[in-house]
A and B are shown apart, each in its own frame.
Chain A
Amino acid sequence: MKQINHKSENSFWLKLCEKGIPGIVMAVILGVFIQLKYQYHFFLKEQISFFAFDGQHILSYLNKPSFFSKLVADFISQFFYLRGTAAIIVPLLFLILYFSIKKVIQNFSDGSLGGFYALFPTILIIIFVFNVNTDLTYFISFLLMLLLFEGYSLLPSKWWRSLVIFILIPFLYAAIGGLVSFLGILIFIYEIKNNSYFSLLRRMLTVFILIFSLLVPLMFRYHYAISLSQAFLYPVDYKLVSLGWILAPLFSLLIVILLAEIEDQQYFKLCLCLVSVAFIILIVFGCYTHVNLNLEKLLALDSEWYFGNIDKIYELENKYEYKSSAGACYCNLAHAARGELADRFFDVHQTGPQGLVLPISNKGSYLPIIFANEVYFYLGDVNASQHLALLAMIFSSNHYSSRLLRRLIQVNVINEEYKIAEKYLKILEKTLFHKKWAHNLLLMLNDNDEEKISYISWVRDKRLNVPTKEDLRQTNDCVKAFELLLERNPENLDALHYKLCYHLLGKEVEAFANTFFQFREILLRVRVPKLYQEALVIYYINKPDLELWSQIPVKPAILKKFIEYNNLYVHYQGEGRKLEKNFKNTYWFYYHYAKAEKEE
């Protein structure tokens, strides 16, 4: 009786595998995960990729191998612009890949657990898509490679089948990139496995296919001007993703094919257990490596800022604890947009001046450059914003970006550089989701309707602030940028508060006080934020004789609290932890104890 139950359980499991239920369940889990936990990564993928329905743009894909995979990947990625689509598209792609792998496994053997084995390579490659430095191209290449193999296996088993694929190999390299070598390996294994009725010609052709598929990347690498490793790995950039992860799906496919082959063997169950455990460990490690949930939280801030949802940023800020400079940067930006930069200073985990404007370097990710570009644009330093938008585009993995193109257009319209704006608009007009925005703007530019252009909110607002005094500055010289902005428009309160807070975060109290005094007329029109009052008190004890103090309102309560702080500071001999409870949200505490944190 027990044996019957065991058998029926087994057959139930086999039926599930046969119907691909494990893959379907996994796809559903994937969709739910993306929708709830990972959608912003896919927004970013859309923002830093670009697809235009333009002949010349499409022809440009031919400049590197895997043009077709890249084309399809960019085409699909554009749909990530819409909320929720990633949670549909990615699981769908997962399912297509899953069933393709399942079919490939079945092509090699009649193993009954194909539906189970297929999960491993599929998960390994989908994890790859979750990496911030990759797009869908490798996924599509892998999928196309499997479909090509499927197509090959469906052709009549005649000698010309091998010849056709042999001739097509260079074209396939152009279309799917380095995975053509793996296709050659698969075909070789497939043909060897079925070689009982082979003619000598077939055998030779099979060997030639293998050799040619391995040689083609070498033969064409100078044509494409790519390095040896790139020739085999294209479309993946091995500098951004480690080689192990690029090869893992390929090896896993070979392993599961082998596993399906030995199902009848006595030691199969042991092998299955070992391989399953190994895969599970690999998948867990892969998730740890590629699925960056901390970055997702950061990208949430970034995307919501891009979409203009300040409320959502406030919500995210309350929901998560952002401890990085990039997180601080967006939280501060959102507060500034609500006029609460100083008031909500301690609601943010401040990491120093870089938490206001991220410093730019030519090392590391392009993301901080995009983030810093948003700050400069918001403040009105459109030149700096343009500089950073171009830099970010250069350093992003695709070198094209719909989001950064939009920014460049905005900057050039504000600067009345309409020719260059038109150049960008014309290409953006050929996209699916930015078309309308670009078309409307292009109409205005074509009509030369300056009045209409100047009524566009972002044009009107920014033009008021764009510096007019000619000067030179270095990229990371934020203070000079703030000064130039204030020189142009002293009423640019955002720039003013940014400058004040920048000094405070850098613990430059004197520079802060000087700025405060210089712009006191503007600042004293409204209530002076508690933060500023606390900082002024520090300056006051150093320079009590200034006549200006009579004009600066510092609440007696703050003075009283400062005296209390000072007494306790002396009493506890500067032990910060004992002061934290009552003074954590004071500038004095920040001044004494805050340290600029290392970047993530």
Chain B
Amino acid sequence: MPVCFSCLLLIVGVCCSKSDFSKAIQVSCEPFIYPDYTDIVIPPNIAPLNFMVSDSFDRVIATLKGTKGEMQVKGRRKISFKDHFFKVFLEENKGDTIWIEVAARKDGKWIKYSPFFWFVANEPIDPWLTYRLIEPGYEVWNKINISLRNVTNFQVKVIADNNMADNACMNCHTANKQNPEMSFFHIRHSKRGGTIVNERGHLRKINTTSDKTISAGVYGSWHPRGRFIAFSTNIIVPAFYSVPHKKMEVYDATSDLVILDLKRNEIFSGEAISQEGKFETFPEFSADGKRLFFCVADSVKLPDDYKFLKYNLCVVDFDTASRTFGEKVDTIFSADRYNKTVSEPRVSPDGKYILVTVFDYGTFPIWHSEAKLNLIDLKTGEINPLPDVNNNNKKYSNSYHCWSSNSRWIVFASKRENGLYGMPYFAYIDKKGQGHKSFVLPQRNPEFYGYFYKSFNIPELFAVQPNFGVADIERIFKEPAEKVTFIGGR
């Protein structure tokens, strides 16, 4: 059956006959295609990786050769695969390499490039991706929505839109990797704001502010069992750079951590996670829920000493039964040792690794062009700088990363394309913890990103589709928020 289907692809696929390239000029380099999908590892369930060649060509042919079949697609400048054929072709070649030969015509002459490859991994990527679309306008917003994209095809729908929530800011849609039907995000509104908690389609709005905490919950992480969410509470200050190559610095004037108990509507903290003279932020529960990772820095005089604000990655034990923290805080990543700062720790669902953003100083990597993803092996403490994932350390930030539920794929936002607009990139992390070249979320029209004027912000993968929509958010926005009680903690 598969062989038959491959034959069918050849016959009815996207074009009808193979072109004769006997007179084509062979060049020894790979084609320059946009987006750059050359030599990458791809999920077997990814949407068609449509691409295009430069303006100077008037015709292009791509021939995909796998062990099990071949497919040829023609286009003027763009190569657009039929969804179904592409899906089947990848499925057929799962765990194998596909070679793509590109020939392009310029001034009536065909040029044939060296083939590039796609290695089709065995492990699929979580099919649902949510992201926030926002204008790259520093600290303000007007129109924001949280969109849901099916990465196995091109379907997109808006699941929350601030247009239906009095233009309030919406941010940080975060999944529970162990309980994929749970997620939360914040609606920032002076009267009707709160943290929207999605528990298997049932939405709750919780006001996480209390007079004993610095602010409402900001950066958060689900406890794997879904009862707790760890939050940072921060006073966030935006400031602007004077020099051209830097735009903005966002720093915390002060910050602490708290835990929200969804069962009892209580928040509590602990000495280890809210120390005097320290800025704690970006909490992240371990995969088993027994430890809490977080970033912590010594307080400095701000904004004067902003370059000395450097965060360590630390971890402390957490006991769910007693809702208490251990006394010993271990340092996983020392800011002093590396003279760097660390933020946004995300533990792989298998518990083996923690993925962090490392950059020169501060807490907010989005505007730091030097920000890179680093993978820390939780067993050995070894740090992998993931050069292929980070575009071989070329500048422009990579941040707001997230794991697929099988721990083999990551998604992150990167401004590498132009330094201003964030785009979602995927990368494969193999079983040995090695990262492979990242590639951008495919779009039906490969020109899409060139003419899109919003930033993809906080991409988050979901194994199951978040089952709420704009109507639910509109309804919950109007409802009063549940209140929480701060109970201290140790």
Interface residues of A in 437-493 (CB under 8 A from B): 466-475, 481, 484
Q: CB-defined interface of A413-451 with B at 8 Å, one 1/0 digit per residue?
A: 011110110110011000000000000000000000000
Taking a contact as CB atoms closer than 8 A, the residue among A230, A468, A473 that contacts B163 in the complex is: A230
Q: How far is the CA of A420 from the CA of B245 in the complex (A)?
A: 12
CB contact between A472 and one of B244, B303, B469 (< 8 Å): that residue: B303
Complex interface: chain A residues within 8 A of B303 (CB): 472
Q: Across the two chains, which residue of chain A brings its CB closest to B141?
A: A394
Using CB atoms, name the residue of chain B closest to A420.
B418
- In the complex, chain B residues whose CB is within 8 Å of the CB of A315: none
B448 in contact (CB, < 8 A):
yes
Q: Name A426's contact: one of B239, B243, B450 (CB within 8 Å).
A: B450
Kindly list chain B residues whose C-beta atoms are within 8 Å of the C-beta of A57: 451
A226 within 8 A of B: yes
Contacts of A45-73 to chain B: CB distance below 8 A: 54-57
- What's the Cα separation between A230 and B167 when bound, in Å? 13
A227 touches B163 (CB 8 A): yes
Interchain CB contact under 8 A, A391 and B163: no
Q: Known: A383-B240, A383-B241, A394-B142. Contact between A222 and B135, CB under 8 A?
A: no
Minimal Cβ-Cβ distance residue in B for A418: B418
A472 and B306 within 8 A (CB)? yes
With beta carbons under 8 angstroms apart, the residue of B140, B241, B452 that contacts A470 is B241
CB-nearest residue of chain A to B469: A222
Of residues 289 through 318 on chain B, the ones whose CB sits less than 8 Å from some CB of chain A are: 303, 306
- Residues of B within 8 Å of A484, CB to CB, are 242
Is there an interface contact between B244 and A466, defined as CB atoms closer than 8 Å?
A: yes
Which A residues touch B137, using CB under 8 A?
A: 390-391, 393-394
Partner of A394, one of B135, B418, B419: B135
Residues of B with C-beta under 8 A to A225: 145, 158, 161, 163-164, 470
Residues of A within 8 A of B241 (CB): 383, 470-472
A89 to chain B, nearest CB (A): 27
Given A56-B448, A57-B451, A472-B306, CB of A391 within 8 Å of CB of B239: no
Given known A225-B158, A390-B137, A390-B138, contact A419–B417 (CB-CB < 8 A): yes
Q: Interface majority SS on B: helix, strand, loop or mixed?
A: loop
Bound-complex Cα distance A510 to B249 (A): 32
Q: Are A472 and B450 in contact (CB under 8 A)?
A: no
Interface core residue of A226, A387, A395 (most chain B CB under 10 Å): A387
Q: Which residues of A217-257 are within 8 A (CB) of B? A: 222, 225-227, 230
Tell me the residues in window 425-478 of chain B with beta carbons closer than 8 Å to chain A beta carbons.
Answer: 445, 447-448, 450-453, 469-471, 474
The distance from the CB of B289 to the nearest CB of chain A, in whole angstroms, is 35
In angstroms, Cα B474 to Cα A222, docked, is 10
A387 and B161 contact, Cβ closer than 8 Å, known pairs A394-B142, A415-B245 = no
> Given that A54-B451, A394-B141, A472-B249 are contacting pairs, would A415 and B240 also be in contact in the complex, using a CB cutoff of 8 Å?
no
Residue pair B143, A399 in contact (C-beta under 8 Å): yes
Give bound CA distance, A470 to B245, whole Å.
10
- Chain B residues near A393 (CB, 8 Å)? 135, 137
Q: Hey, what's the 0/1 contact readout for B239-257 against A, CB within 8 Å counting as 1?
A: 1111111110100000000
Judge if A174 is at the interface, Cβ distance under 8 Å: no
Query: Per-position contact with A for B124-152: 1 when CB-CB < 8 Å, else 0?
Result: 00000000000111101111010000000
Q: How many residues on chain B are close to A (CB under 8 Å)? A: 41
Chain A: interface size category: 35 or more
The answer to the question of A187 belonging to the interface, with a C-beta cut-off of 8 Å to chain B, is: no
Contact of B242 among A54, A56, A423, A467 (CB under 8 A): A467
Contact partner of A227 among B164, B447, B448, B451, CB < 8 A?
A: B164
- When the two chains form their complex, are residues A383 and B247 in contact, meaning their CB atoms are under 8 A apart? yes
What is the CA–CA distance of A466 and B246 in the complex, to the nearest angstrom? Answer: 12
Say which residue of B141, B420, B470 sits within 8 Å of A222 (CB atoms). Answer: B470
B423 to chain A, nearest CB (A): 12
Q: In this assembly, does A518 line the interface, its C-beta being within 8 Å of a C-beta of chain B?
A: no
* A387: contacting residue among B141, B145, B240, B445, CB under 8 A: B240
Cα separation A55 to B452 with both chains bound (whole Å): 12
Q: Contacts A225-B158, A419-B418, A420-B418 given; indicate if A472 touches B470 (C-beta within 8 A).
A: no
Residues of chain A with a CB closer than 8 A to B158's CB: 225
Give the A-B contact count at a CB cut-off of 8 A.
Answer: 110
Q: With a CB–CB cut-off of 8 A, which chain A residues contact B447?
A: 56
Contact A56 B445 (CB under 8 A): yes
Quick check: B140 and A394 within 8 Å, CB to CB?
Answer: yes
A391 to B246, CA, bound (A): 17
How many whole Å from B52's CB to the nearest CB in chain A?
13
Shortest CB-to-CB span from A448 to chain B, Å, is: 15
* Nearest B-chain residue to A366, judged by Cβ: B142
Q: B228 in the interface, Cβ–Cβ < 8 Å?
A: no
Say yes or no: is B412 at the interface (Cβ < 8 Å to chain A): no
A400–B143 alpha-carbon span in the complex (Å): 12
A414 vs B243: C-alpha distance in the bound complex, in angstroms? Answer: 12
Q: How far is the CB of B407 from chain A (nearest CB, A)?
A: 33
Contact A423 B138 (CB under 8 A): no
B353 on the A face (CB < 8 A): no
Question: How far apart sit A481 and B469, CA to CA, in the bound complex (Å)?
Answer: 44
Q: In the complex, which residues of chain B have a beta carbon less than 8 angstroms from the beta carbon of A426?
A: 450-451
Which residues on B sit within 8 Å (CB–CB) of A336?
A: none
Query: What are the residues of chain B within 8 A of A417 when measuring CB–CB?
Result: 244-245, 418-420
Is A399 in contact with B240, judged by CB distance below 8 angstroms? Answer: no
CB of A3 within 8 A of chain B?
Answer: no
* A422 proximity list for chain B (CB < 8 A): 418
For the complex, is B81 an interface residue (Cβ under 8 Å from A)? no
CA of A226 to CA of B448, assembled, Å: 24
CB distance from B205 to the nearest CB of A (A): 18
Instruction: Find out whether the CB atom of B136 lies under 8 angstroms from the CB atom of A390.
Output: yes
Contact with B along A382-402 (1 / 0, CB 8 A): 111011001101110001100
Residues from chain B with Cβ under 8 Å of A419 in the complex: 417-419
> Which A residues are CB-close (under 8 A) to B445?
55-56
Say whether, besides A393-B135, A394-B141, A426-B450, A473 and B242 are in contact (CB < 8 Å): yes
Instruction: Tell me if B470 and A469 are in contact (CB < 8 A).
Output: no
B455 CB to nearest chain A CB (Å): 11
| B interface, CB within 8 angstroms of A | 135-138, 140-143, 145, 158, 161, 163-164, 239-247, 249, 303, 306, 417-421, 445, 447-448, 450-453, 469-471, 474
30 pairs across A/B with beta carbons < 8 Å?
Answer: A56-B452, A222-B469, A222-B470, A225-B161, A227-B163, A227-B164, A227-B474, A383-B243, A384-B240, A386-B247, A390-B136, A391-B140, A393-B135, A395-B140, A400-B453, A415-B244, A417-B419, A417-B420, A423-B418, A423-B421, A466-B243, A467-B243, A469-B243, A470-B243, A472-B239, A472-B240, A472-B241, A472-B303, A473-B242, A484-B242
Complex A-B, nearest 10 residue pairs according to Cβ-Cβ distance, in ascending order = A225-B161, A415-B244, A472-B239, A419-B418, A390-B137, A420-B418, A467-B242, A56-B451, A484-B242, A394-B137
